[in-house]
Each structure stands twice: as C-alpha cells, then as structure tokens.
Structure 1
C-alpha cells in the first residue's frame, strides 16, 4: 500500500466510524464527480472527474454496495479515475476523500447494457426442417428482441418474453446452412458492439432428458406421473396394466420443464409400468426408460404388537438402489434388497400409516399408495405360572411368568388377594400394573395365610378368560411340641417337596430337614435351645421356590397344665399330667378343698392317677402348686385349679 492509499484507508476508517454511529449507508451527498459516459454498452470504459474543490486523497470504488455502512476494503478502492466494465449491469461508483480537513463521500450509478450473443440450441432434420430453441437466461432476457438469420435470405425477430422458446424453419433443400442470432434493443443501442452466435446444429434431436422423475400411487386409484419435458416436443404417457403391453393413457403434453400427468381409474393394490413416448421435430418416436409402480401390504407374519409388511414392484429399466419404508412420514427402514420388514415399535390400539419408496437409478422415485394398519393381538391365555413367598413379618411378594399369545408391550397385571379359606378376593394392584413382581405390605404373614390370583389384560383391552388358580403363602405356626404349616400350594402347580430350615440367631441355616410332602414337624423341646424355623417349598418342575414366615423358638421354660382329667378307665385322659420344657428342677403338690396334700412329686414325668391312699378321690376341683427352676436357674411358681371328673 503506497502513502496515498494509506491516507485514503485511514480517511475511510474515519468516515466509516461516523456512518456506523448513525447506522446510515456510507454513500453520502457531500462529494461530487461526473461520469463520462454514465451509460453504454459492454465493454464500457468510464472516466470520472472530481468536482470537489481542494479535494485530497480522492478514492473511488467502482462496484460499491449502497447498503454498506463502512468504507470498501483497500483492494476494492483506487485513486484511478478510469475503469472498464466488461459485463452488463447497474453499478454504483463511490467517491470519498477530504477537503479543508473534512471528509466527504458521494455515490452515482452507471448502466452497462448487455452485448453478448444469446445462447440457443439448434436441431436439424434430414428433410431440411430445423428447430431453434432459445436458452432462457440473463443474457436473452436482457434484450427486447432476438434477431435470427436463417441463412437462406430470411430473418425473424423473436421476443424472449414470448411463451414459446423455440422456432421452427424449413429449407427448400436439406443443404446445411449456418444460422446466426444476436440481441436487439428498441432504440437500436449497441448495434456496433452486439455479439453474434452462429449455430450449425445436431442431427437428430436428442430426447434423453425427457424421462419420468417419479410415479406416485394414491389411495383414490390415481397415479401421478411427474416427468421432465422438452419445449415443443410432443410427449405421451403410456401404461402397462400387467400384460406386458404399453397402451396410451391420453395424457399428452409438449411443455418444457417439469410436467405432471394424472391417470385415474387404477387399483392402488396392483402393479403398473409407465413410460414416455416422445416425437421429435423430425417425427421420430423415442421411448423413455420404464418405471414401475410399487405396492405395500400387510404380511401374514404379523404377531402380537408386530406389524409385518411386504412390498413388490415390476421390473424397471434402471436398477433399484434403495427401498425406504416410511411410517407416519418418517423413514424407519432402508434396504437395497429386502422386500419385507417386521415393525416391532408399535402399540396396540394405535393406527399407523405405511408407505414404501423405491429409488431407481439416477434418483427416480416410485411411491406406493399408503396403507393404514393397527397391531393385531390374540386373547391372552390364563396365567399358569405364579408363586408367592413371605419376605418378612409384614411383606409377601408374588411373581408371575407370562407366556403364550396376546402379550403386548403395555398391559395391566391384575392382582387379587383373599384370606386363606375365603372366596372374597379383592383387587390390590394399581391400575395399569406392569410389574411381574408384586410387593404386598398390607399383610401379617406370621399370623395368617393369604391367597392370591392373577389376570392379564393387554393393551387392546383383552383379558385372559379367567383368573389363575389361587396361590397361597405358607403359614408356619407352633402347636408345641409340633410346628405345622398349611398344605395350600404357593404355586400354580403342585408342590414337589418341603424342606424345614433350622436357623441360628444370626439367620444362618444350621440344619435342613427334608419333609417331602409332610406339613408338620415334632420338636424335641427338651433338647432345643434358641432356634428359628422356616419352610421352603419347591415347585414340581423345580423352577420356583417359596418361603414361609419365620417362626422363632427360645429356651424359655414352658409348663403345660391341663384344666381337667377323667380317670374313668376308658384309657383316655386317665391321669393329671403336667408337661414341662426347658425345666431343670421340678416339684408339684396337689391339694383338696380342705388344703390337704393328696399328691406330691419331684419328677417332671410324675402324674396323679386320681387316687388317695389307693382309693378313688372324689370328683370336683383340686388345687395344684408347682415350683420349678429353668436351665438358667430362674425360679418358676405356678398355682391353679383343675377339675377331676368321675
């Protein structure tokens, strides 16, 4: 950058800052210059003359954007006052500089007219006929008219704004003649600079660009054929109804660009082939590549909440590069070879619209008519695999295994409960319960057994025919010296065996006692200390396990005293016998109603036969007094009455 350019750049920065503050265009009205000439024909050379007195660092930009609020970049600014425009257009010239210590700027426009020759295509036929097709672009649209010299002494003026972009001409003989064309303005401007294009043409006319772009089948039975036409070329849509023979559809056009033909009265589930038949200016018929329609249908493999689809098409001239399956307008599957798909991402009760698109060769597309489908489902089977188990003294869990048809991604597993022995089942699960494991905390499994039953309702509101067979929790209880449990199965199938677990104070299993199908166990209380017991049940196939509540035993002394006995010789309840457990010392006295001792023993196994001095004692109430010591040395005293019945 020389010194003068540097001054101009700095001045530009100064001016730019002031214009940026105001937000206005950098084009001001404080400068002044003349343009010679201010309009003309390309190429146009203009000369500028500064009109600002005592101007310094005068700089010009010959193609400035009037909306710009900053000075032009230095490479686009010059002190030169002469410039040549080679292309047509309206250009803004910016002048800026300083005078008397103040910056100035000014803008003015230059109009440069088009002089280049128009673009066109020429087709010749062997019989002397030619067709000239004008290329509609910025060059041809700049002129008021196009002058065509056919080369045989005749000429023609042609408006580029007309609806037809082609001209036909016939020669007396088929001799080849050059054809020239140039632009023209109404006021005869630029005649000396006007460019001329000379064409010789090709033989015959090529119709390769006339081709089908897409075929779309509609539910209404219409086929929409979108194709690319050539201006002035008669093109007809042909159809093959499946017999291999193409017949006219009556859809004829001769427009250029994208054309649409709609063929009615078709079956959207059937397949058709389409092609174009075009006649060039030489009366030669040319067929386009063939494009097949495509159809989609529900396949026979659809299962619960699975929609299976398949599609097919007839042969095309081009190869299919991709199939795209759409659901509700979005692509869910693509393949170059597969002709089927199973959609598992569907929910029963909803409707889905499917379409298949075939992409052929150079982005030609065939669209199927859409189909609307709903997922199908079967009636769910009864639940035949379930179990219950006691988790702790306030919790029972149930577990269900689902199998068979009618299962859907969302469902309601209905859980009902009733006390064992009752038929009054009540629903305890929440609506739309979708957990196969249910946790029931509104129970007391240490004092009562509960039975559960289950029913499945799928997303299509179809329920299994009935509830499952009831399954019941195992209640382990004490009937000293026995512990017993109920025989109701905790499974939807029979119990194969019970195991009794003896656990220590820390909950570790010390002994496992196999009870097979028994439901009771006799404890040796004289040898027992502090233990807990739990029953484990296994299903017939061994796949399910259930646990009872935990029953705790401690080595606390137990004294069981009968409230009556009948020494009448019937061998039943003949002796007054006290049973004691966890007792180390024992002493018992029996008194009649006058306070006399009628029986005394220090043996825990001792019992009174109802006789006093070998004679039968009178019936009535008697008093007992027991004094004992447990295994820890603690004293125990019991006193009460019992009835001797004669």
Structure 2
C-alpha cells in the first residue's frame, strides 16, 4: 500500500508509518502529532517552522537534487550566513522545542532502508541578526522506480488498478503495468493520462508490477520495484487474506473536536464513515462521506464517548467493501491523589461484535499502553495497560510541569476473511498545575479552649496532590470576611486571641499547596456562645454555626476523667436552651454545648455553676470500738471548704470537742462521753467567702 497524508505543510509516503519499516520516521511523526495535540489542547497554534513564524528570519541552503535514488547521502551547504546552524533531515513540522541547538553539527544524511517513494523535509535552523532563522526544502527519495498505485480484486476473474496523479510521487514520463516482470506488458500509461483506473480481466491470483519510467535514463533508479500479489477473493485461507488496499481504518486518533483517521483503501476510491455507540447499532447516516485514503479529519460531537466506527466503499460495481470495526478507548477522568494522579480510561471492547455467529470474524488486542507527556517530552515506554485494567497511577513531581495522557491500543483480527491491523489513540487529557484548583480536602472544628480563646482545628480528610504549605484564616467582621491570619502547614490547630466567653465568632479557611494553587474558600464555621441564664437555664447562640442546619445539640459535662466529654443530654437542632437538673451535681456543675452536622463540629465556651456543698452531721453514732460507725465526722463534699469551726457541747453547755479541720473525726473515749444527746455548732467559710452556719443535735449510742 502506498498512501500519503498532508502534515505540517508537506507530504509523506504513509506506507512507512503503517508498516513500521522506517522506525525513525514513525517515531518522529508520532511525536510531532502528539505535540500538535498538546498545542491544540491549550489553545496554542502548532508552529510549523517552515511557515516562517513571526519574529524569525528566513535562512537558505543548497540542495542540489530534489528527486534521487536511495541509498544515497545528501549533503547540504549553508547559503544563509547565519550562526549556530543545524539541520534536521526528517523534520515533521514540530515547533522550536523539538529542534535542539546543542546537537553536533551535521551537514549530510544517508537515506536508505525503504522501498517506496517517500517525501522528506530538511529544515535548517539557527540564528541571524539575533533572531531565530529557519529554511525548509522538500525532496523525494526513491530506492526504485516503483510507482504510486493501488489495486482491488473484484472477483476471481478480474481486478481493478488505479494510478493517481501526483506531481511529487508520480512524476514519471510513463508507466508500465505487467504481470510477469515486464516480459509481458499489459498496459502502458502516459503521464498525461493520469489519473488512470482500469479493470483488467485476468484470472486471480495474479502477481503484478507497476513501474514508472523517466525518459532521462539518469533519473531512473536501479532498485528492484518488487511486485504485489492479488489474491483470489473467493479462496480464503485459514490464516485469512491480506489485501493491501482493502478498506481499513489503520489508525484512529481522537482529539477534542473529533478524530484523525488514517484511511486505507484504493487510491481512486472514496469511503463513508459510520458510527455507533457501544452497545448500539450503526446509523444509516454516515458521520463523514467522500473520504479518500490518507490522513483525514472527522469532526463529531461526543468525542470522549466510547464509540465504534467502520468504513464503506462508496463506489459500486466491483464488490461490496467494508472495513473492520474499530472502537475508541477514551480517557474518562483524571483523579488527583496524594503525590500522584489516577488516570481512568475505557478498555477496548472485546469480544468482536460478530464473533458469536461467524468464526471468520475476530479481533484481539496485541498491546495497550498509557502514554505520558511531561512538558512536551514523551515518557519513555509509557505504562502497559493490563487486561480489564481501567486506571493507572502516575507519580508527579514539580509544580511547573504540564502533564498529558493518552492511550494507544493496537488491535488485529480478521474481518470477513480479510486480515487487518489498527491503532487506536484516545483523546488527550492534560493536567496543568497553574490552572488547577485544589479540592477542599479538610474539615473544620470550632471550639473554645480553657483560656476562653476561639480555636480552629483543621482536619485533613485526604492529602493533596502536592503538599499543603499554609492555610488562610478568614474572620467575619460585619457582613464580610477578610484574611485575619495564616497558619503554616502541617500545623492543624489555630488559636486566636479572641475572647469567646461573651460572643460567637465566625471563620472561613482556604488551603494553599506548594505550587501556589488554592482551594475554594470553605463554608463558614462559628463558635457557640453559651450562658447560664438566671443560674438555672443553659442558653446558646440561636443561629447555626454552619451554613447548613444543625443535626443535634449535645450537652456535655465532666466525665470520670475530669474532661468535658460526658454526654449529659441531646437535643434537636432547632432547640437553643435547656434546664439541667442541678441536683445531680455536688459542689459544681460544668457544661458545654457541641453542635453536630455533616458540615463539621462546633463547641461552645464552658460555663460553671458553683453549688453550695451538701454537708451534714449524722444524727447518731456508736463509739463502741466494733469498727462500725465509731466516729463522728462531716458527711458531704468538703472540697470547697476554706475554713471550719466545729464544736460539740453536752446538755450542760460545756464544750466536749472542738476542731478546725474539715476532715475531723471524733471518737470519744469511755470517760469522755456517755450515752445521750449532744449539740453541735458548725461555721464554714467557702472558697468564695460564703459562710454556712449549721447547728443541731445528735445521739451517742454505745
């Protein structure tokens, strides 16, 4: 097969790219195409330097022959007078980033290793008068006089042959068609008769030769032109037929606006392209019509949706011709994770849609890779995609990288007895840190510490792609929020200087990573102001501390550990006061309120209600040394007692015992007290200087 495509202002013999026989051309071409995709993705014009970019000057060099036979070494000579001149002998239309000014100077290149005529571009690059300088020249390299043509088998008794008009690849004076290496010439075609197409009534199979000839014998190449084998389409071997010019999608390359197709087929034929959604059927209306062999651009919506395509030959009369079905494998999502990105993509759909009812139809994936481009440099080797794998992780480093991804899938199979191979390239998805907004990957908790200062706790839910470096703390003033302070990451606790014991304060937070990308500013979160109204009712801020309603309010008090973490009571989110049962407490009752919501948590200040201690003297005791109720002492919580004066008097009013120790114990000896009634006077001064006076009587029972 001989095809050509228009690319970057010049044409190539596309056979080399498809057959992989000329690897240096193929790799250069593919990289050039990828760079074009990157430019397109970011709205940058792909810069074919042969078109003399703005701000550059035109160079010049000498190329003596523009059509010659290979193998041959081409030597160029500068005529520009520029500086730091270099040459690229297989230029593919890339921008200046692909031309390295530091490579060694080379003024010659040997073209060899291919059979079919190929168009090459040589570019000269350097500087002149302080400006970039470029000059390009195209030339055709042939190893033989093999003409540029195609053929198609109609049936077992005839075949069709076409020679297109092409001023570069078919510039011979006449053409000879034979079926036994020119011992018998079955047709001679003059240059002025192009384009030429004819059906030959000859039984198949046949081996044919098509040679171009120059009248000037010095221009003819001596290499063997080789032959093409035209098989009998009615005799399909078990291995399938290989028909070079049968309709096929040799490559399907998705882009933002549709796709690029490498259409294979007869050079005098045109084809219609049909599409179906995965799981659907083909529409009767083609996506595109009149497609000729070569690289073709097709525009259609939903280029990121998985679809399948096939070609149908538009001409009738010879035979019905349809290509194998080729399906896309789009990249669907790029998910940011800690230090890496997860790239999601569609697998190639298998098995082939007709494999169940026709054993001659099958397709298999021979290779699938995720290709990675960092700052317009193709990642060596890519990453292999395993069967049934739908995502791959890629570690990323540095803030200034533009990272792009696409998948390549190579498939081969048999379509109605005819072998085929195809390459599928997904849409290009790029990641540009400078355009990125990081997700809000943290939750907020507002609280008030023991010093009654408002505190924000920032709980990171998941790590960012790049490490966080700081948080911006926004504080509400009136109806507006403004930056009040910053908190350096990885610290996650921010203590304000605001006294939150008398009012509520509201905050917002924004994170920033080491690349300077910022998260959206968070929803507000507020502290809760709690007070003890009339020394009996807990009341707190009526507005929700979040943008969303409060799910529950929980009253917290001190637990066994002494921390305010014991749930005392729970209320619905639209209740803002509560009367606690203070009888359940002794010397003091301590409370705080927690608001719970899916938006986060918020805590109030702490309120403390000091209670008069419950202290009393027993009404009787039995000091008989039996170890049971042998002593008289204060019963209750004495923690708040600062001083005490305690006296015991007998019935005559005489003091029989006195103490100033809150923890006194009176165990009278046998002769100190007898059975009967006694009286006491108790005066207590509390830690807040309140005075408690108690008096009464008790009995001694021995």
So what's the TM-score if we normalise by structure 2?
Answer: 0.34
**Higher gyration radius (CA):** 1
So what's the TM-score if we normalise by structure 1?
Answer: 0.37
